[in-house]
Amino acid sequence: MQTSPAPNSPLQVDCHSPHYPGRLHDLYDPPGSLYINGDIHLLKRPMIAIVGSRNASPEGLKNACLFAQALSKAGALIVSGLAKGIDSAAHQAVIELGPNHCTAAILGTGIDVVYPRQNIELSRAISQQGVLVTELPLGSGPKAWHFPRRNRIIAALAMGVVVIEAAEKSGSLITARLAADLGREVFAVPGPIHSANSVGCHLLIQQGAKLAFRPDDVLEELCF
């Protein structure tokens, strides 16, 4: 656990504020308030979530970069959870495009806590070129039950969720199923049939998720 060196004091926005993202009201248990560090106005933009395995393959990381940069260039705010692997790759890929491209990280900790610790610099970059969001109060460390609740916020904010690599029992599948329940579009990137990291994506496709092997598959469906 590491306290963030974020340059600005976080804002606390309650559910009645005009700055509160309206899409969160689609949840049966929307956060009563949010803590926000970064450009709060970004939360009004159309968002696409990119999520996936913490133990991603090199191919998965490459695909996360490809999708994140293409969807960002098309005008989407790229949302993910600041986890290792696919999440971090998606955030980093957008940051590398430069100041006209932004990403939102939804946290499973307090706004002043960086988890995992390896993402301290990435968290700082997102606070300056995007936005950090959490419902958890200051000082909240990572707890197992925080992350499924974090995932429901990702699912609600996004117009669509792109899953890039997921094991059969993956938190990314929780996000995808929550998104489907909320009427969001769900996309899954297929992979090798013998890869454990592909099983979750293949199951999602069997269950009705849209197969996406290129960013245009997402853009065409969401009418960007």
Which token pair is 7?
């340059």
Residue with structure tokens 């990137």? Answer: 189
Question: In whole angstroms, what is the distance from residue 151 CA to residue 147 CA?
Answer: 6
Does the reported pTM lie above 0.85?
yes
- The whole-number pLDDT of residue 8 equals 61
Digitized pLDDT (tens) for each residue of the chain, 224 residues in all: 444 434 467 999 999 999 999 999 999 999 999 999 999 999 999 999 999 999 999 999 999 999 999 999 999 999 999 999 999 999 999 999 999 999 999 999 999 999 999 999 999 999 999 999 999 999 999 999 999 999 999 999 999 999 999 999 899 999 999 999 999 999 999 999 999 999 999 999 999 999 999 999 999 999 86
What letter would DSSP give residue 94? H
Pairing type for strands 103-106 and 77-80 reads parallel
Report the chain's terminal Cα–Cα distance, integer Å: 38
Give which of 5, 31, 1 is closest to 137, Cα–Cα.
31
Question: In whole angstroms, what is the distance from residue 32 CA to residue 44 CA?
Answer: 18
What letter would DSSP give residue 43? G
110, 138 contact by CB (below 8 A): yes
Which residues neighbour 176 within 8 Å (Cβ) at sequence distance 6 or greater?
Answer: 51, 155, 161, 163, 166, 186, 188, 204, 209
Domains and CATH numbers, the chain: 2-159 (3.40.50.450)
